[in-house]
């Protein structure tokens, strides 16, 4: 099997050779190898291979790399397609992919290391560990935003993605706004984990990248993992291909990792205690990462991990990240000591790949998954009509520059007309009101061109009705995602006139 893979990769290096032809020529040999695996009692991953190849063709995905381990042993790892399409560099299990939000799980491990060294208290306000940039709020107490609440997305921060490089203190000063009462509701924020990365650096006295390398990557034997592109690792990096924007540049100061090394990280996170890995955390600290859960409304989230207590018959733990140019999935099934990894250098890859890998090992998982697919249907969200808010609402959007007047005129029909500052009145599109939350999007300009990188953007509203006012966030989208405080109060009939 290894000889076959080597031969295929050598052919792939030849200019002009078509990958589809390789798969076609190799199919009989692969079938023979897979038959041998079946007869030997080893897991059969043939359906996963076929799914990956179909997925790559369907979505024009340049490459996918996978790895799967059980009871501390890697059973299968392989790369498919091109890590670098322009230079004809094939993907392997050692190709380093951008981790996106999977790096939150690495940050959580760093926090737990510092906690075990008594250098960090998860229950203290995160502002105690920050410098000039502190979390602030027009309405709520920042001291209630503890390290743990930031880590489990309950601190009151909201959607954030900044494409422009700013010093972390300035980023926090501009966008570290607490929009909801800390501890009240789950709201996924990338900014929260950027702030936690800064906490790791300040508490440890090392840069985030140096801490990751010295305290996590090297002790766990992860030689193809790095924050940014480490020296000598350039040739292993998968280029990122956006579904809409083409080839994207490397991401500085964020984690890159291979499928092989991510599987090793997963093995550590299941407390396997490999002889060539240092015990950088106690088993109790690893358990605490998963047990400190909060409700997301549709599931559970712990410290940097998604928790599913009934994942097709098993308890599942997931680290997942994605952009329009990368996907990373790390699936853990603790009761079976299974680790499954799927990585892509393209934005189109769902959980179907990593779940197909798990299905090869667990018949019950496959059966329950098939039943769930059969029953899947559109769910009735029981939205309350926006017309229940009918009337005129006036308030502001608060940016780091100024307060901009905002008016919503909500008709009995449910139509919402919005006026921002002196700009033309426009519709709030896709307006929805349910569970006391008003959502919608509109065209508008907040005058933050320097942070929005002068890209065209629209505004997305996430406002909650409390104490007679609509309060919450307005976020620029699709890129970057910059959140600002918004607040509106309903006007009386006399004031409207």
Domain interval for residue 28: 1-42
Q: How many domains does the chain have?
A: 3
Q: Residue 390 CB: number of other CB atoms within 10 A?
A: 16
| CATH number assigned to the domain comprising residue 256 | 3.40.710.10
**pTM of the predicted model as reported, rounded to 2 decimal places:** 0.81
Last residue of a domain, one of 324, 351, 377: 377
State the pLDDT at residue 135.
98
State the pLDDT at residue 454.
59
For residues 484 and 367, what is the distance between their CA atoms, to the nearest angstrom? 46
Q: What tokens were used for 31?
A: 């079938």
Written as tens digits, the pLDDT of the chain (497 aa) is 444 444 444 444 443 333 333 333 333 333 344 344 444 468 999 999 999 999 898 888 999 999 999 999 999 999 999 999 999 999 999 999 999 999 999 999 999 999 999 999 999 999 999 999 999 999 999 999 999 999 999 999 999 988 778 999 999 999 999 999 999 999 999 999 999 999 999 999 999 999 999 999 999 999 999 999 988 899 999 999 987 788 998 888 899 999 999 999 999 999 999 999 999 999 999 999 999 999 998 899 999 999 999 999 999 999 999 988 999 999 999 999 999 999 999 988 889 999 999 999 999 999 999 988 887 644 434 446 788 899 999 999 999 999 999 999 999 988 999 999 999 999 999 899 988 899 999 999 999 988 886 567 889 999 999 989 999 999 998 878 899 999 999 998 755 55
Residues 153 and 213 in one domain: yes
Residues 207 and 226 in one domain: yes
Residues 215 and 310 in one domain: yes
Residues 219 and 130 in one domain: yes
State the pLDDT at residue 19.
38
State the pLDDT at residue 385.
78
State the pLDDT at residue 376.
67
State the pLDDT at residue 58.
86
Residues 262 and 293 in one domain: yes
Residues 251 and 172 in one domain: yes
Do 21 and 84 contact (CB within 8 A), yes or no? Answer: no
For residues 289 and 332, what is the distance between their CA atoms, to the nearest angstrom? 13
Q: Following CA atoms 429, 445, 153, 385 in sequence, which dihedral angle do they give, to the nearest 10 degrees?
A: -20
48-80: burial string, b at 16+ Cβ within 10 Å, e else: bbebbbebbeeeebbbbbbbbbbebebbbbbbb
| CATH number assigned to the domain comprising residue 435 | 2.40.128.120
Residues 315 and 418 in one domain: no
Q: Following CA atoms 215, 218, 223, 227 in sequence, which dihedral angle do they give, to the nearest 10 degrees?
A: 20
Residues 255 and 220 in one domain: yes
Residues 317 and 219 in one domain: yes
Burial class (CB in 10 A: 0-12, 13-18, 19+), 257: buried
State the pLDDT at residue 495.
57
Alpha carbon separation from 160 to 185, 300, 417, 442 (Å, rounded): 17, 21, 26, 18
Residues 88 and 34 in one domain: no
Residues 55 and 37 in one domain: no
Residues 267 and 129 in one domain: yes
Last residue of a domain, one of 377, 408, 428: 377
State the pLDDT at residue 105.
98
Q: What tokens were used for 242?
A: 């956006």
Last residue of a domain, one of 317, 343, 377: 377
DSSP result, 72-98: TEEEEEEEEEEEETTTTEE--TT-EEE
């Amino acid at each position: 099997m290894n000889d076959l893979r080597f031969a295929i990769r050598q052919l792939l290096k030849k200019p002009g050779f078509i990958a589809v032809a390789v798969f076609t020529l190799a199919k009989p040999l692969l079938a023979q190898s897979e038959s041998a695996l079946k007869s030997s009692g080893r897991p059969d991953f043939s359906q996963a291979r076929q799914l990956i190849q179909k997925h790559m063709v369907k979505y024009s995905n340049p490459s996918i790399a996978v790895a799967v381990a059980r009871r501390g042993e890697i059973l299968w790892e392989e790369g498919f397609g091109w890590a670098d399409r322009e230079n004809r560099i094939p993907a392997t299990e050692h190709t380093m992919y951008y981790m996106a939000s999977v790096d939150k799980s690495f940050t959580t491990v760093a926090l737990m290391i510092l906690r075990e060294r008594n250098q960090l208290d998860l229950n203290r306000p995160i502002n105690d560990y920050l410098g000039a940039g502190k979390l602030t709020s027009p309405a709520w107490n920042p001291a209630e935003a503890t390290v743990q609440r930031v880590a489990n997305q309950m601190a009151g921060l909201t959607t954030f993605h900044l494409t422009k490089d700013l010093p972390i203190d300035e980023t926090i000063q501009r966008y570290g706004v607490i929009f909801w009462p800390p501890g009240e509701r789950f709201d996924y924020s990338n900014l929260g984990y950027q702030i936690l990365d800064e906490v790791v650096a300040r508490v440890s006295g090392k840069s985030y990248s140096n801490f990751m390398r010295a305290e996590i990557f090297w002790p766990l034997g992860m030689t193809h993992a790095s924050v940014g592109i480490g020296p000598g690792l350039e040739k292993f990096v998968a280029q990122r291909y956006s579904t809409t924007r083409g080839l994207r540049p490397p991401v500085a100061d964020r984690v890159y990792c291979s499928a092989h090394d991510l599987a090793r990280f997963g093995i550590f996170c299941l407390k396997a205690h490999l002889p060539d890995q240092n015990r950088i955390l106690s088993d109790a600290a690893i358990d605490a990462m998963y047990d400190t859960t909060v409700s997301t409304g549709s599931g559970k989230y712990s410290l940097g991990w998604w928790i599913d207590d009934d994942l097709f018959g098993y308890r599942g733990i997931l680290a997942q990240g994605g952009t329009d140019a990368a996907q990373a999935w790390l699936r853990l099934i603790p009761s079976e000591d299974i680790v499954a990894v799927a990585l892509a250098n393209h934005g189109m890859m769902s959980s179907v790949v990593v779940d197909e890998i798990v299905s090869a090992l667990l018949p019950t998982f496959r059966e329950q998954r098939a039943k769930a697919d059969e029953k899947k249907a559109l769910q009735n969200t029981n939205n309350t009509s926006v017309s229940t808010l009918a009337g005129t609402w006036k308030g502001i959007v608060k940016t780091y520059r100024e307060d901009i007047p905002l008016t919503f005129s909500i008709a009995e029909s449910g139509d919402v007309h919005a006026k921002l500052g002196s700009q033309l009145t426009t519709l709030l599109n896709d307006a929805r009101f349910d569970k006391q939350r008003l959502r919608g999007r509109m065209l508008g300009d907040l005058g933050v061109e320097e942070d929005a990188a002068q890209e065209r953007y629209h505004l997305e509203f996430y406002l909650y009705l409390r104490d007679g006012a609509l309060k919450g966030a307005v976020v620029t989208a699709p890129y970057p995602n910059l959140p600002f405080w918004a607040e509106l109060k309903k006007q009386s009939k006399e004031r409207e006139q």
